[in-house]
C-alpha cells in the first residue's frame, strides 16, 4: 500500500511538472507573438487557450517539448499577463544581469520572451523553486537554439535569482539537472556544479550575438 501511494504521488508530481512545462512553452510563444505582431496580453491569452491547447504543434513534437494540451492554463495566463504588466521592471532587472553594453532590447525576440517569462517567475512565483524555474527555461531554450543561448539564459536567470531569491539560492541543486518532479533532492550550488554551461553563458551574456535559432 505504501508503495502504491508513493507511485501515485510521483505520478502526480510528474503530471504537474508536465502541465507547468507546457504552460511555459505556450507563454514564451505568446510573448514572442506579442513582440512581433503586437496585441494585448488578454487577447493573446484567450487566443492561445482557444486555439493552441487543442492539438500539439509540429515543432513541439519535433523537439520533444511538453504537449500544449496539458498546459496549466492558470500559470500560462499569469506568465503572459505578468510579463506584459511588469515588462519595464523586468527588463531593467534583466539588463542589470547582462554584461557590457548588452540589453534586453538588443536580444532577439525569442530570447526576450524566454528571459522575460523566467524573470517574472523568479520574482513573482515563490511557490516554484528557483532552481526548477531556471532549469526549465534552460531546457526550453535548448529546444529552440543550437548556440550559446542556453548558457546565457542559465547565467542571467541565475544572477537574477541570487538577488530576488537570495535565501533560497544560497545552497541548492544545480539548475542544469533540477526538475519539478524532484523538489526534495539534495541541493548544490548552481555555478560550481554547472561551470561549463555557465562559462558558455558568460560569453553569450557579454556579446549576445551568437543567436542560432533552430528551424
Q: What is the secondary structure of 166-214 as a DSSP string?
A: HHHHSSB--TTT--TT-TTSPPB-HHHHTHHHHHHHHHHHHH-----B-
Secondary structure tally for the chain: helices H, strands E: 11, 0
Distance of alpha carbon 111 from alpha carbon 209, whole angstroms: 11
Burial of residue 12 (CB within 10 Å: 0-12, 13-18, 19+) is: exposed
- pLDDT above 90 covers a percentage of the chain that reads 55
Whether the predicted pLDDT of 161 surpasses 50? yes
Distance of alpha carbon 200 from alpha carbon 149, whole angstroms: 9
Whether the predicted pLDDT of 164 surpasses 80? yes
Beta strands in the chain (DSSP E): none
Among the ranges given (85-89, 100-104, 127-131), the one the predictor scored with the smallest mean pLDDT: 100-104
For 108-118, the pLDDT digits (tens) are 999 999 999 99
Non-local CB neighbours of 208 within 8 Å, separated by 6+ positions: 98, 102, 106, 107, 152
pLDDT of residue 8: 32
Name the architecture of domain 13-207.
Orthogonal Bundle (1.10)
pLDDT of residue 54: 57
User: Helix, strand or coil for residue 145?
Assistant: strand
Q: Is 55 left (phi over 0), alpha (psi -120 to 50) or beta?
A: beta
Residue 97, H or E segment: none
Burial of residue 186 (CB within 10 Å: 0-12, 13-18, 19+) is: exposed
User: Helix, strand or coil for residue 64?
Assistant: coil
Whether the predicted pLDDT of 92 surpasses 90? yes
For 166-203, the pLDDT digits (tens) are 988 775 555 554 566 544 333 333 333 333 444 444 55
Domain boundary assignment for the chain: 13-207
* Mean pLDDT (the chain, rounded): 77
Amino acid at each position: 500500500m505504501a508503495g502504491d501511494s508513493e507511485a501515485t504521488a510521483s505520478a502526480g508530481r510528474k503530471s504537474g511538472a508536465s502541465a507547468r512545462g507546457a504552460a511555459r512553452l505556450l507563454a514564451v510563444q505568446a510573448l514572442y507573438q506579442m513582440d512581433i505582431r503586437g496585441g494585448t496580453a488578454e487577447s493573446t491569452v484567450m487566443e492561445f487557450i482557444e486555439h493552441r491547447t487543442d492539438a500539439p504543434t509540429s515543432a513541439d513534437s519535433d523537439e520533444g517539448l511538453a504537449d500544449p494540451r496539458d498546459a496549466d492554463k492558470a500559470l500560462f495566463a499569469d506568465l503572459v499577463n505578468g510579463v506584459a504588466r511588469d515588462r519595464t521592471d523586468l527588463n531593467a532587472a534583466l539588463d542589470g544581469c547582462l554584461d557590457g553594453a548588452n540589453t534586453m532590447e538588443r536580444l532577439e525576440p525569442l530570447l526576450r520572451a524566454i528571459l522575460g517569462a523566467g524573470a517574472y517567475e523568479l520574482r513573482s512565483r515563490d511557490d516554484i523553486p528557483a532552481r526548477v524555474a531556471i532549469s526549465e527555461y534552460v531546457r526550453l531554450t535548448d529546444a529552440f537554439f543550437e548556440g550559446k543561448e542556453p548558457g546565457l539564459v542559465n547565467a542571467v536567470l541565475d544572477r537574477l535569482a541570487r538577488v530576488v531569491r537570495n535565501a533560497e539560492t544560497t545552497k541548492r541543486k544545480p539548475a542544469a539537472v533540477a526538475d519539478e518532479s524532484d523538489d526534495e533532492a539534495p541541493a548544490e550550488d548552481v555555478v560550481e556544479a554547472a561551470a561549463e554551461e555557465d562559462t558558455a553563458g558568460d560569453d553569450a551574456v557579454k556579446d549576445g550575438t551568437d543567436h542560432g535559432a533552430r528551424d
